[in-house]
Amino acid sequence: MKAAQLRAAFHNWKGMGFRFKVRFLERRDWLDKWNAYFHIKNFGKKFVVVPLWEKEKFRQSVRISIYLDPLGVFGTGCHETTRLMGTLMEKLQGRFKDFFDIGTGTGILSIAASRLGARRVLAIDTDGPSVKAARCNFRQNRCQGITALKADIKTFMTRKPFDLVGANLLSGLLVEQKRRIIPRVRRGKYLLVSGIGLEHLRSFRRDFETRDLKCLRILKSRKWAALLYQHL
């Protein structure tokens, strides 16, 4: 809503002690502000996420480095849902050659998949800035065979299925789009889903799972759950 519309909406509140003030913010006032709280952090058992602005002081370790500039979009590796996905993905190393990343955000899971051996990675997101950030991070990590597209799973079509499909979305959207997500998984291969609140886990499984899906593992954090399926 524009400032003028907000001012009009609060016009009748003037006599109640409210003041209305407009301030135009620069990038450093908001988009870059939270960078001070994003630091080098382990991701799963195999990775370490390194913010680009801390790359120079980072000392190489036995962990696999993922260099990341979130550019204000989701996917720093700090959120529980992303961390659960990363942990499950690590356990599949050597079992997938390609990866379809639905709702890629910064591209962190696509980079992880590439480092774990995926030769072909397709990453999509409905948010333009997320796709831009993902492409930037793919270049920073010198990833090969990765494509990032602005697209919606509701309408997006792919010619070939994938060994591994990952969808870190809210449970309602996962259920709503299951007929578009599940067929993207090659028979005998794997599907990772996250973004399911613990209070919705039982109903999610009831509404999402089909005869063609076998639940191999469920990981839980304080508030969220992620599930690993095999497409039979």
**pLDDT one-digit tens code per residue, 42-59:** 999 999 999 888 888 888
Place 74 in a pLDDT band, splitting at 50, 70 and 90.
Answer: confident
* Beta-carbon count within 10 A of 66 CB: 24
Q: Which residue has the higher pLDDT, 76 or 191?
A: 191
pLDDT confidence of residue 181: 97
CB 100 within 8 A of CB 89: no
pLDDT confidence of residue 229: 98
For the question of whether the overall pTM of this predicted structure is more than 0.75, the answer is yes
CB 96 within 8 A of CB 119: no
What percentage of the chain reaches a pLDDT higher than 70? Answer: 85
Q: Which residue has the higher pLDDT, 69 or 21?
A: 69
Average pLDDT, the chain: 89
Does pLDDT of 2 surpass 60? yes
CB 143 within 8 A of CB 135: no
**pLDDT one-digit tens code per residue, 5-41:** 767 766 666 656 666 676 665 545 545 555 666 688 9
Round to whole Å and give the CA distance between 191 and 229: 5
Domain borders along the chain are 3-231
Q: From the options 3.40.50.2300, 3.40.718.10, 3.40.50.150, 3.30.70.380, give the CATH code of 3-231.
A: 3.40.50.150
